[in-house]
Amino acid sequence: MTTEAQQKDSGSLSTERVQSRLRPAPAPDASVPPRAGQAPAAQMRRMAPAEFNTAMIHFYRGEVQRSNTWRNRLDTTTNWAVLTAGATLSFVFSSPSNPHFVIPINSILVAIFLIMEARRYRYYEIWSSRVRVIETGYFAQMLAPESVPTDEAWAEHLAADLITPHFTITEWEAIGRRLRRNYLWIFALLALSWNLKVYLHPLPARDFNAFIDRATVGVVPGWAVFVFGVLFNAAIAIFAIGTVRLREATGEVLPQHQFSLRPL
């Protein structure tokens, strides 16, 4: 009898322990809005701080790597332009009998390199602008004093750009930027070299008429070649000056007070 009583008591105690462990699930809080309708800034707050910081660090490193890759591609086309210009000038001035029309041909080739580099620069600005958004919206807010109000527009802008990527710079602005930074000096060097070649070889020209006669290329008269060169270089100079005010790029070239999140 004592053994049966002890078994009944132990059974009732184990049942009570199991029931105490199997607690009912808490009811969902009606005050918490659904996650689907929340803004990106509100969704990231539901993540743990460590998870969010880790994700942002990896995302930032990836975007920096992308921007560095396209930055190296910009240097590649610039090196092509410099090498071809140097090789052309070395060939033209190596002998008085070498033709001068190689320099205008090289100018056209350099213009093609400029267009290629402008296209690569537009892709570079995609990743560079994202890096700039993270720096100004995330890292800068972490280092700013607590009295500075937080800005949540950067997260929405970044999310929209990830869903639907867009170029942050126009083709005209990209060509103008690369032209003023590098190619304008190459075109100026080629133009001066052509005039110097026509004037010096084989002997210095006596007057302007002799200079124009030496500029003749086959059946093309010298005055036509000269006028084409003047118009070509004048158009380059006008284009470089006319695109100075284009400021749609959001990369690191603009400080924060001139940096704005434009709608995509």
Structure confidence by residue, pLDDT tens digits, 87-109: 999 999 999 889 999 999 999 99
CA 252-254-259 angle, 5° bins: 105
- How confident is the model at residue 92, as a pLDDT? 94
- Give the global pTM: 0.71
* Residue 134 to residue 77: CA distance in whole angstroms: 29
Contact 249, 132 (CB under 8 A): no
* 154-187 residue pLDDT tens: 888 888 888 888 888 889 999 999 999 899 999 9
- For the chain, residues with pLDDT lower than 70 are 1-46, 147-151, 248-264
* Residue 67 to residue 124: CA distance in whole angstroms: 6
- How confident is the model at residue 30, as a pLDDT? 46
Contact 123, 230 (CB under 8 A): no
Cβ atoms within 10 Å of 9's Cβ, excluding its own = 10
* Residue 226 to residue 10: CA distance in whole angstroms: 111
Indicate the residue type of 8.
Answer: K
Residues 6+ apart with CB under 8 A from 35: 43, 46
Only one residue has tokens 């004037």, namely 199
* Residue 31 to residue 25: CA distance in whole angstroms: 17
* Residue 226 to residue 211: CA distance in whole angstroms: 10
* Residue 132 to residue 135: CA distance in whole angstroms: 5
- How confident is the model at residue 215, as a pLDDT? 92
Indicate the residue type of 3.
Answer: T
- How confident is the model at residue 113, as a pLDDT? 96
Whether the CA torsion 54, 57, 63, 65 is positive or negative: it is: negative
Among 138, 144, 167, residue whose Cα is nearest residue 70: 167
- How confident is the model at residue 261, as a pLDDT? 52
* Residue 88 to residue 82: CA distance in whole angstroms: 10
- How confident is the model at residue 223, as a pLDDT? 94
- How confident is the model at residue 94, as a pLDDT? 92
Contact 122, 71 (CB under 8 A): no
- How confident is the model at residue 126, as a pLDDT? 87
- How confident is the model at residue 211, as a pLDDT? 93
